């Protein structure tokens, strides 16, 4: 969650540079929509997105073993086909699958009646919260919403870096932070809600962004932490681009949806915003034996951290950013 202390500090730092209203989430002076000609006119191939019902972070395979992939896909297929049972070794395994689904198959937690699930003799018996016709309609609407968001965000075939930026911005622009959230609501949180309703808190927004990244072939997992004084808890995204891990915080990004302040952060920058020390990081909401594997040390995207706004020129393969303190424009080539 976004702490009030962080908000106050962050806004005080940027007030001299940003003539934005916090209550309006920084949308009073939006970046003008980039006018891009039709694909055929500039000779670029369109990005052809196809919804994939089977996505999972490779890091879950490392955490739970390679067998988890087939089990998870069987879990997904069971729900998509409306069946009420599938092979599952234990109740613990079922909860692992359900936990993975939060960012790898978000509709599962909405459809399953978790209070009426049993595992006996290697078989998991599911119960659902909705009847068959409702489930089919919800699944269809979910797939369409995900496809629409991704297809609208990524117009052309491009690098993973640009896909990640475009999806990050799409999430930051479409989502609103749910100020009505209370601790009593914690058991009801699920990324499905923010995907479909465009409102949520950090756990939901992070899971949504991860799901979009996985859909386009970019590996990502959750990362969470308590602040140094343990007054605040927060969850965000750790994404892998070009072999390096980076912190992405679309929840903070909803306050400044046209900026890249919180994109591609290293551990130091992540700690600076929110006071979340790396020693407190929890990956995938699990006890990870080798946390050093996920150290974010690369500073490739430091050039974007002061970008109040940006534009992508797909035809010339460059990204332009305008810095908050000077208004100066800098152009960078998009590496394929």
Q: How far apart are CA 169 and CA 43, in angstroms?
A: 25
Domains of the chain in sequence order:
4-32+42-47+137-333 (3.10.620), 58-136 (no CATH)
Give me the chain's average pLDDT, please: 88
Residue 55 DSSP SS3 = coil
Cα–Cα nearest to 258, from 75, 20, 80: 20
Q: Which of 24-28, 200-204, 301-305, 320-324 has the lowest mean pLDDT?
A: 24-28
pLDDT at 118 exceeding the cut of 90: yes
Beta strands 123-125; 199-200: pairing state = unpaired
pLDDT at 288 exceeding the cut of 90: yes
Please identify which residue in the block is written with the tokens 């087939």: 70
Residue 92 DSSP SS3 = helix
- C-alpha distance across the termini of the chain, in Å: 35
pLDDT at 94 exceeding the cut of 50: yes
Please answer whether residues 138 and 21 qualify as being in contact, where contact means their C-beta atoms are separated by less than 8 angstroms: no
pLDDT digits (tens, 9 = 90+) for 238-286: 999 999 999 999 999 999 999 999 999 999 999 999 999 999 999 999 9
Q: How far apart are CA 100 and CA 97, in angstroms?
A: 5
What is the percent of the chain with per-residue pLDDT over 90, rounded to a whole number?
Answer: 83
Gyration radius of the chain over CA positions: 20
Mean pLDDT of 202-221: 98
Q: Which residues contact 47 (CB under 8 A, 6 or more apart)?
A: 151, 154, 155, 156, 157, 158
pLDDT at 237 exceeding the cut of 50: yes
Residue 234 CA, distance from chain mean position: 13
pTM: 0.88
């Amino acid at each position: 969650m976004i702490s009030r202390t962080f908000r106050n500090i962050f806004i005080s730092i940027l007030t001299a540079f940003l003539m934005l209203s916090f209550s309006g989430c920084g949308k009073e002076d939006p970046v003008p929509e980039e006018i891009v000609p039709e694909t055929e006119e500039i000779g670029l191939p369109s990005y052809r997105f196809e919804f994939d019902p089977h996505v999972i972070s490779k890091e879950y395979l490392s955490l739970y073993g390679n067998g988890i992939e087939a089990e998870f896909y069987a879990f997904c297929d069971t729900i998509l086909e409306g069946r009420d049972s599938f092979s599952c070794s234990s109740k613990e395994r079922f909860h692992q699958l359900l936990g993975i689904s939060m960012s790898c198959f978000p509709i599962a937690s909405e459809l399953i009646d978790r209070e009426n699930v049993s595992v006996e003799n290697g078989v998991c018996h599911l119960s659902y919260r909705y009847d068959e016709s409702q489930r089919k309609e919800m699944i269809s609407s979910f797939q369409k919403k995900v496809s629409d968001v991704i297809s609208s965000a990524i117009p052309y075939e491009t690098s993973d870096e640009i896909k990640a930026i475009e999806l990050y911005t799409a999430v930051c622009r479409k989502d609103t932070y749910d100020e009505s959230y209370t601790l009593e609501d914690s058991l009801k949180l699920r990324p499905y809600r923010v995907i479909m309703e465009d409102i949520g808190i950090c756990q939901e927004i992070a899971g949504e962004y991860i799901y979009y990244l996985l859909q386009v072939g970019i590996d990502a997992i959750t990362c969470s932490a308590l602040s140094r004084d343990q007054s605040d808890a927060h969850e965000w995204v750790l994404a892998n681009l070009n072999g390096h891990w980076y912190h992405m915080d679309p929840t903070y990004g909803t306050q400044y949806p046209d900026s890249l302040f919180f994109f591609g952060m290293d551990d130091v920058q992540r700690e600076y915003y929110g006071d979340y020390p790396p020693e407190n990081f929890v990956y995938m909401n699990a006890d990870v034996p080798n946390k050093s594997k996920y150290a974010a040390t690369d500073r490739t995207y430091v050039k974007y951290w002061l970008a109040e706004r940006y534009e992508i020129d797909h035809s010339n393969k460059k990204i332009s950013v305008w810095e908050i303190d000077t208004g100066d424009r800098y152009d960078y080539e998009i590496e394929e």
